[in-house]
């Protein structure tokens, strides 16, 4: 069992799915000869050839439009948007065609395509390169939005996304691309889309997070547990659309307290939806208001200030203690 970075694990998923199914192909800017801006697609051109690894012009809408046509023709395209901040140029194609095709054709035509995009800050990038806007895609009916947190679940979730009959936005936390390694089995694994994981059981408070925010969340939980002896349950959502409401609400009914951690701006984000969900389904079990630790409602700052913008383990730990003390 090899210890891989997330970049290597995603590359492995692409290789294994392209070997398994000849209808799977990849396309995007610089993904062929250059192996991708983060080298996620490194080596695919040499292994699978230019018929299945396609470099495209810098034209996000055209990349997705081409992928939609390919999917309608029976292929399974995996296209790459180099950064989440530039993906909005494809939104017209995605909202008007990709997410609607199943409903528009009464289920006769589905679009098995995956849109991969790096998201989030923490790598000292430029403007438009650090946004965390998963809610933009999750808000569209018919869309699935997957956010892995580590190498092993990234490999398994990308395999699931490629095999899914409907469009999937696969958002990769680039801060986690090379931040750590995990053991990833050689044999292919597939995780169900829409099923969260309870990564640590507890009885005093529930923490909910996803993607790159899982690392400060885990660190904060360990610090508070050591300091106060608190029993903390931690949920890794893995996808926000579909949202695993059952796992979240079952946990909150047992603990009575919840802290949601997201990198995205505070207003109208996934944490707002999760808070509303808990109010709808588990309100009478709450012993404290649901707390949120989030980014701020400002443009994602340049790298000089991004550490103050992105939730830290310290901010998460304070929110946990305030919730326990309420």
Catalytic residue list? 129
The DSSP letter of residue 124 is -
Rg (CA), the chain: 20
Q: What backbone torsions phi and psi does residue 286 show, to the nearest 5 degrees?
A: -75, 135
Sign of CA dihedral 96, 100, 101, 104: negative
DSSP string, 57-77: -S-HHHHHHHHHHHHHTT-EE
Under 8 Å between Cβ of 33 and 42: no
H or E stretch including 316?
Answer: helix 313-325
Sign of CA dihedral 61, 134, 245, 200: positive
Q: Rounded CA gap, 210 and 248, in Å?
A: 13
Under 8 Å between Cβ of 97 and 105: no
Q: Rounded CA gap, 127 and 107, in Å?
A: 40
Under 8 Å between Cβ of 184 and 172: no
Q: Rounded CA gap, 295 and 85, in Å?
A: 16
Under 8 Å between Cβ of 26 and 41: yes
Q: What backbone torsions phi and psi does residue 142 show, to the nearest 5 degrees?
A: 95, -5
């Amino acid at each position: 069992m090899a210890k891989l970075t997330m970049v290597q694990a995603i590359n492995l998923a692409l290789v294994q799915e392209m070997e398994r199914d000849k209808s799977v192909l990849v396309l995007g800017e610089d993904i062929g000869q250059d192996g991708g801006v983060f080298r996620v697609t490194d080596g695919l051109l040499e292994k699978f050839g230019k018929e299945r690894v396609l470099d495209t012009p810098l034209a996000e809408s055209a990349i997705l439009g081409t992928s939609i046509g390919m999917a309608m023709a029976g292929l399974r395209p995996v296209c790459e948007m180099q950064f989440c901040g530039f993906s909005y140029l494809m939104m017209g194609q995605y909202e008007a065609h990709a997410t609607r095709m199943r409903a528009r054709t009464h289920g006769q035509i589905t679009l098995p395509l995956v849109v991969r995009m790096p998201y989030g800050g923490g790598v000292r990038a430029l403007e438009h390169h650090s946004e965390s806007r998963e809610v933009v895609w999750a808000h569209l009916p018919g869309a699935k939005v997957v956010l892995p947190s580590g190498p092993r679940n990234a490999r398994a979730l990308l395999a699931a996304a490629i095999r899914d009959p409907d469009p999937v936005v696969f958002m990769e936390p680039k801060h986690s691309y090379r931040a750590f390694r995990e053991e990833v089995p050689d044999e292919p694994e597939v995780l169900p889309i829409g099923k969260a994981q309870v990564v640590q059981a507890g009885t005093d408070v529930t923490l909910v997070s996803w993607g790159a925010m899982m690392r400060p969340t885990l660190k904060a939980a360990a610090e508070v547990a050591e300091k106060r002896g608190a029993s903390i349950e931690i949920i890794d959502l893995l996808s926000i659309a579909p949202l695993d409401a059952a796992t979240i609400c079952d946990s909150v009914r047992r603990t009575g307290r919840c802290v949601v951690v997201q990198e995205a701006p505070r207003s109208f984000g996934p944490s707002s939806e999760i808070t509303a969900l808990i109010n709808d389904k588990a309100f009478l079990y709450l012993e404290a208001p649901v707390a949120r630790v989030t980014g701020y409602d400002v443009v994602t700052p340049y790298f000089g200030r991004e550490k103050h913008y992105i939730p830290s383990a310290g901010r998460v730990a304070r929110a946990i203690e305030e919730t326990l003390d309420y």
